[in-house]
Structure 1
Amino acid sequence: MGDLVTARLVIHPMTVSEAERVVAGEPDSGARWAPEYPTDGDVSAARRFLSTCADTGDPQPFGNYEIRRREDSQAIGGVGFHGPADENGSVTIGYGLVPSARGKGYATEALRGLLLLARAHGVTCVKGDADHDNIASQHVMLAVGMRPTGEDEHVRYFEIAWTDATAITDPRS
């Protein structure tokens, strides 16, 4: 599985060795990490990815991805799936950016790319959630076409579902 390239980003499928380095907080000699990378969320996602790989093998394309800026190749966050599609064709996603990269539209661009990838691999529904006080993350999901589907005392839930007649916009356009 190769990189997904958007207008400003490279969405890079994480390998086991890259995930191990994220968990350890030790970039390899070729990695370019933004100063605040990896965040706690990146480490948690890398651990989940490593656990999945150990239990059932590499889940690509439904694994973890590193978000890199094209202009400087620095890793600024992550985006990915919590696992492969279920029997109904549904997946759950997560994403996050280092604080210095927030507010620039990168999360929206990365999530659009991930939705395009999911749709291309037969996914019919993508779900996500955000804490009530994480208004920025809620805006990201709304910006890519996800709609609120409910909430509990901690989070709001979002999803986007497609039929064969539904099209999504290529993030490179």
Structure 2
Amino acid sequence: MGDLMTERLALHPISVDEAEQMAAVRPDAEARWEPGFPTEGDVSVAKRFLEHCAATGDPQPFGPYVIRRRSDHRAIGGMGFHGPPDEHGSVTIGYGLVPSAQGKGYASEALRALLPFARDQGVTSVKGDADHDNTASQHVMTAAGMRQVGEDERVKYYAISWSR
């Protein structure tokens, strides 16, 4: 599977080798990581990806992606699916960027690419959530076309749906 391209970004599906480097926070000679990458969240995603691959195989296209700037090919964060679609065709997404890449519209741009890709793969809805105080993440989802569908004492829930 190839990269998903946007104007400024490439969403690169993580391979087992890349996940091993991320989990160990040890880049190979060719890795181009922005300072701060991988974040603690990226390391956790890489470890879960490796566990999933060992148990049931590579989940792509419904796995994690590294977000790279096209201008310098540096990894600035991650975005992806928490797993394949459920019995209703729904997936959950997550994302994060290193601090130096935040506030530049990268996460919204990446999510605007991932949503139609999911729809093209037969997904009927994409869900996400953000803590009440994480207004930046809430903005990312609304900027990409998701809408708030609920909340509890800790988080706000977002979704976008399509008919088959």
2: CA distance between counterparts of 1:88 and 1:55? 23
**1:94 pairs with 2:90:** no
2:4 corresponds in structure 1 to: 4
Deviation at 1:49, TM superposition (A): 1.1
- Residue number in structure 2 paired with 1:148: 148
1:65 lines up with 2:65 in the alignment:
yes
Identity %: 69
* CA RMSD between the two structures: 0.8
- 1:81 is matched with 81
Moved segments of 4+, more than 6 Å: none
What is the match of residue 34 of structure 1?
Answer: 34
Give the TM-score of the pair, scaled to structure 1: 0.93
What is the CA deviation profile of residues 71-129 of structure 1, one whole-angstrom value per residue up to 9, with x for unaligned ones? 00000000000000011100000000000000000000111111121011000000000
SS, match of residue 140 in structure 1: helix
TM-score (norm 2): 0.98
Structure 1, unaligned stretches of length 5 or more?
A: 165-173
Tell me how many residue pairs correspond in the alignment. Answer: 164
Match of residue 25 from structure 1:
25
Mapped partners of 1:48, 1:111: distance in 2: 21
SS of equivalent to 1:115:
helix
d(CA) in 2 for partners of 1:149, 1:80: 20
The whole-number CA distance in structure 2 between the counterparts of 1:162 and 1:138 is 20
2:43 paired residue number: 43
Ranges in structure 2 where 5+ consecutive residues have no aligned partner: none
Query: Aligned AA for 1:100?
Result: S
**What letter corresponds to residue 83 of structure 2 in structure 1?**
G
Q: Structure 1: how far apart are the matches of 2:62 and 2:47?
A: 15
